[in-house]
Every structure is written in C-alpha cells, then in structure tokens.
Amino acid sequence: MDKLIEQFSLGLFFWMLILFVILVFFLNKFAWKPILNSVNEREDGIKNALEEAENARKEMQNLNADNERILKEARAQRDTLLKEAREMKEGIISEAKNEAQAQASKIVEQAQETIQAEKQAAITDLKNQVAELSVGIAEKVVRGELADKNKQIKLVEELLKEVTIS
Amino acid sequence: MHRINLIKILTLLLLAVTISANAQHDASKEAHGESSHKEKDIKTEIKEYIAHHLLDSYDFSLFSYTTDAGKKKYFGAPLPVILWDNGLKVFSSSKFNHGKTLAEVDGNYYKLYHNKIYKTDTEGTINYDEEHHATNVKPLDFSITKNVVFILFVAILMFFVFTRMAKSYKGNLMPKGVGRLLEPVVLYIRDDIAIPNIGKKHYRKYMSYLLTVFFFVWIINLLGLTPLGVNVTNNIAVTFALALITYLLTTFTGNKNYWKHIFWMPGVPWPMKIILAPIELLGTFIKPFSLMIRLYANITAGHIVLMSIIGLMFIFKSWIGSPLSFGLAFILALLELLVATLQAYIFTMLSALYFGMAVEEHDDH
C-alpha cells in the first residue's frame, strides 16, 4: 500500500483525468452518437422490414383464404345453378310429356267419338236403307200378294198383329 | 494464410522485444557499471530493469545503447517538465540528462532521483530520513511524461479511428473499413455489457463512457505489449483516474432507490439498518477501488512475469535457456494478449454493473 501511494503520480493522474474526460466528450459527440444512431436506425429498419414482410405474408394468407372462399362460393353457385337447370329441364320434359299425353288421349277420345258418331250415322243410314228396302220389298211383296182381296185383308190383319206386338 | 501472417508478426514482435530488452539490458549494465553498483549480480540487475520498465519516465526514450567510446546514447526525445513551485516552471527534461545532472530553473535546482523530481540545493544533495526516504521538497509535478504522451497518442488514435468509423456510416447502412471490424465490438458492449447490466431504459447515457473506457484500456494494454513497452495501465494514477470516473458517474447518477439501499436498507430490522449503512457506504468506495487495483495489478503482474522470463535468458547463458525462455515468453505474450482484452472487458463490465445498481428500480421489495 505504501509503495502504491508512493508510486502515485499526481501529474499523471491529472493529465489522465483531463485527457480521458476530453476523449469521452469528443468521442461521444463525433463517434459514439453517430455510430449508435446509425446502428439503431439500421436495426429499426431491419425490424420494420421484417414486420412488413410478416404483415405482407399475413395479408397474402388472408388473400389466399379469400380466394379459396370465393372459389368455394362460386363452385356452390355453379352447383345450384346446374341443379336448378336440371330440375327445370326435367320439369319441362315431364310437363311436355304430360301435355302430349293429354293431347294424345284427347285426340283419341275425339277420334273415338267421331268413330262412334260415324258408326251411329252408318247404322242409322243402314237402318233407313234397310227400312226403305224392306218397305220396297214389302210393297212389291204386298203388291204381289194383294192381287186378291182376301189375301190383302189377311195380310193387313197379320201386319196389324205384328205392329201391335212390336 | 491470415493465421500464418499473424504468427509471423507475433514472432517478429517478440523477437523485437527480446532484442530491445537485450539492448537496454546492456546499456543499463554499462550505466550501472559507471556508478557505484559495480558488483551487482545479473539477477538484481534484471530486477532493477523490470522495476525501471514499469515506471513512468520524463523523456520518451524507446531504447538506449552505449557507443564504442563508452558513452550512453538514448534513442528518443526529451519531454517538457512542468512544475508548480511558487509559480509555473516549464523546462525540457533534457536538462536532467537522464538523472545525471541537476536542472537549474530560475535559480531553483531540481534533481531527478528514483524517478521523482526533488528540489535540491546547488550541489544536488538529497537528505534522507531514518528509513532512507528522501526528505527534500517535492514540487507539484504536472510534467508531460512518457505515459502522458502515450495517453494523448492513444486518445488521438481513438479519435481518428472512431470518427472515421462514424463517417463510414454516412449514407449507407453498413460501415466500411475499420468500422466493419469494430462494429461487432461496439455492439457487443451495447448488447452484452450495457443492456443486461444497466437495463434498456437507462443504458444510453452510459454508453459513451463504457465504449471509451473499453477501447481505451484495450488499446493501451495492447500497445503496452508492443516493443514500445509503454505501460500506462500499470500506473496506479491512471487506473485511479478511470475508477474515479466510474465512482463519480455511479454516485451522481444514482437514483433515490440506490441511496435508500445504502443508508436505509429496506426489508431488514432497524438495528441492522444502522449497522448496514456504514458497510454499504464503504462498499461504494470499495467497488471502484477494486476496479483500480484489479486493472493495475493484472497488467503490472503480467509485465513483471513476461519480463522476468525474458530476463531468464541472461541468467541461463546456455543453449537450452534462451529457446526455453523464448518459448515461455511467447506463450506468456499470447496470454497477455488475452489478459489485455479481458481486463478491458472486466473494467467495462463491472462499471456497467455499478451503473446498473445506481439506476436500478426495485419494485419487488
């Protein structure tokens, strides 16, 4: 300890203190502040860039999710549209079928009716003709038969009988 | 390739140390031969040389040698001596002629004795007390000594290097040249010394000091290992100045909490508080004191050991001694490189720790 105190040089201490304090002040002003500021600035820049990249990535993810959603929606819409179209088609077809059926049955009915009417007409006609023919024949037969009076009366009687019966 | 270059440079440096040590050794032998210590053996001589090496000096002599005519020549320059002795006295250290002559200034006589300046009479007599201590008046000495010159040199060097580094940041994000080399160190001090110890909130105001003290101690320690051999950090005055700044910064930036923990420790019973207060107060002085002693002692010890091993060369004057001494000195020099860095780191680290204590905000008790 004694040796240390003896060795202690006030002059060296004095100069060291002054030079060192001056050095600290000068370096602070001209070196450390600019250096640390630049370093901080750079670090902030890097941090910001990283954050921005992260944000961009997130946005991208969101965008992708959006795209996916839109695609899904579009697909669903297409499906419904297709389904609707199919239903409509089927509806139209069945309707047309029904209508055609109805039309066809109507036509058939009408045809049947016409046929019936024609048949009736034909039958009536036939009946008329048969009647006329029968009347003619009967006239001729009657003419032949009615050559004599007895026969005429007999016939009339017979006819009358018949008429009454029928 | 780089490693090979490094090894080459280191080898050369070491060789230079050895040579200069050799040269000085011879010179000092001659010098002492002239004086009364004729019978001194080589061991004492080496001891004295080491002691001399560790001291500051009033002239900047890198080495000295003796001419054929037996005259001692010094390679270097004298430095100004500044004394305060009833007025400012400034004169060149060449007046001392390396301690051989008295310096006469304005009718006062000064003698360089054991590396200190004493005021003497015209004959240069030194009076001693019983313990062989000089009792002559020592004028206040503010001389620009070798160490002061070296501190100034390192300060200027640092100023140029770091302003250059700062300039290289202008306009671009990455530094160029020396900045690229030193930026990791600066960032290390910020991220691994300042922020963990002081905290994110307060570290900024201490950064200038921490960075300056780290690079100053580091550079000056490293340069102390070169053959120039100017040791600055093995002067107690230098480490005292540094520790004093740490102490003052801690004391004047300490917050209420810091002082409360010193004088009225919370969470202990009151009789303990009274006992703890002086201990804690003493602790605030001991902390920077330990900083001072640690740096001083480590560097001094390193130099003493390194030089002693180099000195072994002159004791074992055999074929095995010199290579052995050289090898050991080489390994030790490498170790000293580590110590130079480590001491700078420890000084910075502990300063940061003390600052951290001063600004710590306790919420937990």
Q: From CA B82, how far away is CA B80, in angstroms rounded?
A: 6
Dig out the tokens for B144 from the structure: 């620009």
Confidence of residue B130 (pLDDT cuts 50, 70, 90): confident
Quote the percentage of chain A above a pLDDT of 90: 48
Task: Determine, for residues A20 and B143 on separate chains, whether the beta-carbon distance falls below 8 Å.
Answer: no
Token pair 């900045």 in the structure block, residue: B179
pLDDT above 90: residue B120: no
Q: For residue A84, is it within any domain?
A: yes
Q: From CA B89, how far away is CA B110, in angstroms rounded?
A: 11
Burial class (CB in 10 A: 0-12, 13-18, 19+), A135: exposed
Task: Determine, for residues A32 and B242 on separate chains, whether the beta-carbon distance falls below 8 Å.
Answer: no
Q: What is the mean pLDDT of residues B238-250?
A: 92
Q: From CA B58, how far away is CA B144, in angstroms rounded?
A: 7
Considering CB atoms only, which of A20, A22, A34 is closest to B241?
A: A20
Q: Are B260 and B280 in contact (CB under 8 A)?
A: no
Q: What is the mean pLDDT of residues B132-143?
A: 77
Task: Determine, for residues A12 and B235 on separate chains, whether the beta-carbon distance falls below 8 Å.
Answer: yes
Dig out the tokens for B79 from the structure: 């430095």
* A13 vs B contacts (CB less than 8 Å): 237-238, 240-241
Quote the minimal CA–CA distance from A72 to chain B in Å: 47
* Residue A22 near chain B (CB below 8 Å): yes
Q: Are B212 and B189 in contact (CB under 8 A)?
A: no
Q: From CA B85, how far away is CA B101, in angstroms rounded?
A: 19
pLDDT above 80: residue B36: no
pLDDT above 90: residue B261: no
Confidence of residue B11 (pLDDT cuts 50, 70, 90): low
Task: Determine, for residues A35 and B143 on separate chains, whether the beta-carbon distance falls below 8 Å.
Answer: no
Q: What is the mean pLDDT of residues B105-126?
A: 75
Q: For residue A147, is it within any domain?
A: yes
Q: For residue A40, is it within any domain?
A: yes
Q: For residue A10, is it within any domain?
A: no
Range(s) of the domain holding residue A151: 24-165
pLDDT above 60: residue B35: no
* Residue A49 near chain B (CB below 8 Å): no
Quote the minimal CA–CA distance from A78 to chain B in Å: 55
Q: For residue A7, is it within any domain?
A: no
Give the pLDDT score at A73: 95
Q: For residue A112, is it within any domain?
A: yes
Q: For residue A74, is it within any domain?
A: yes
Confidence of residue B47 (pLDDT cuts 50, 70, 90): confident
Lowest pLDDT segment from A70-74, A86-90, B104-108, B271-275: B104-108
Task: Determine, for residues B163 and A36 on separate chains, whether the beta-carbon distance falls below 8 Å.
Answer: no
Q: Is the dihedral of CA B210, B212, B215, B216 positive or negative?
A: negative
Q: What is the mean pLDDT of residues B229-258?
A: 87
Q: In this predicted model, what pLDDT tens digit does every residue of B308-335 receive, in sequence order?
A: 888 887 777 777 777 888 888 889 889 9
ipTM: 0.79
Q: From CA B146, how far away is CA B55, in angstroms rounded?
A: 10
Q: Are B307 and B314 in contact (CB under 8 A)?
A: no
CA dihedral A8, A12, A18, A19 (to 10 degrees): -130
* A40 vs B contacts (CB less than 8 Å): none
Which of A5, A10, A12 should be substituted to probe chain B, the one whose Cβ sees the most B Cβ atoms within 10 Å?
A12
Q: From CA B159, how far away is CA A28, in angstroms rounded?
A: 10
Task: Determine, for residues A16 and B238 on separate chains, whether the beta-carbon distance falls below 8 Å.
Answer: yes
pLDDT above 90: residue B103: no
Q: From CA A97, how far away is CA A103, in angstroms rounded?
A: 10
Q: What is the mean pLDDT of residues A14-20?
A: 91
**Phi/psi of residue A148, each to 5°?**
-105, 155
Q: What is the mean pLDDT of residues A133-145?
A: 78
pLDDT above 80: residue B283: yes
Dig out the tokens for A77 from the structure: 């819409």
* B244 vs A contacts (CB less than 8 Å): 17
Amino acid in the structure at residue B36: S
Which of A4, A16, A18, A21 should be substituted to probe chain B, the one whose Cβ sees the most B Cβ atoms within 10 Å?
A16
Q: In this predicted model, what pLDDT tens digit does every residue of B190-234 receive, in sequence order?
A: 999 999 999 888 888 899 999 999 999 999 999 888 877 678 888
Task: Determine, for residues B235 and A7 on separate chains, whether the beta-carbon distance falls below 8 Å.
Answer: yes
pLDDT above 80: residue B133: no
Q: Tell me the β-bridge partners of B111.
A: B118
Give the pLDDT score at B6: 60
Considering CB atoms only, which of A9, A21, A30 is closest to B163?
A: A30
Give the pLDDT score at B218: 93
Cα A107 versus chain centre, distance: 36
Confidence of residue B156 (pLDDT cuts 50, 70, 90): very high
Considering CB atoms only, which of A7, A27, A45 is closest to B236?
A: A7
Domain count within chain A: 1
Q: From CA A114, how far away is CA B280, in angstroms rounded?
A: 133
Quote the minimal CA–CA distance from B143 to chain A in Å: 6
Lowest pLDDT segment from A129-143, B194-208, B275-289: A129-143
Task: Determine, for residues A26 and B159 on separate chains, whether the beta-carbon distance falls below 8 Å.
Answer: yes
Q: In this predicted model, what pLDDT tens digit does every residue of B347-360 receive, in sequence order?
A: 999 999 999 988 88
* Smallest CA–CA distance from A15 into chain B, residue: B148
CA dihedral A46, B211, B149, B108 (to 10 degrees): 150
DSSP H helices in chain A:
2-7, 10-27, 33-145, 149-165
- Sheet containing strand B108-113, strands side by side: B103-105, B108-113, B116-120
Give the pLDDT score at B355: 92
Mean confidence (pLDDT) of chain A:
88
Q: What CA–CA distances, in Å, run from B238 to B62, B233, B234, B243, B302?
A: 21, 6, 8, 9, 17
* Residue A1 near chain B (CB below 8 Å): no
* B148 vs A contacts (CB less than 8 Å): 11-12, 15-16, 19
* Smallest CA–CA distance from A11 into chain B, residue: B142
* Residue A26 near chain B (CB below 8 Å): yes
Mean confidence (pLDDT) of chain B:
80
Give the pLDDT score at B189: 93
pLDDT above 50: residue B137: yes
Q: For residue A4, is it within any domain?
A: no
Lowest pLDDT segment from A73-82, A125-134, B285-294: A125-134
Give the pLDDT score at B70: 67
pLDDT above 90: residue B43: no
* B240 vs A contacts (CB less than 8 Å): 8, 13
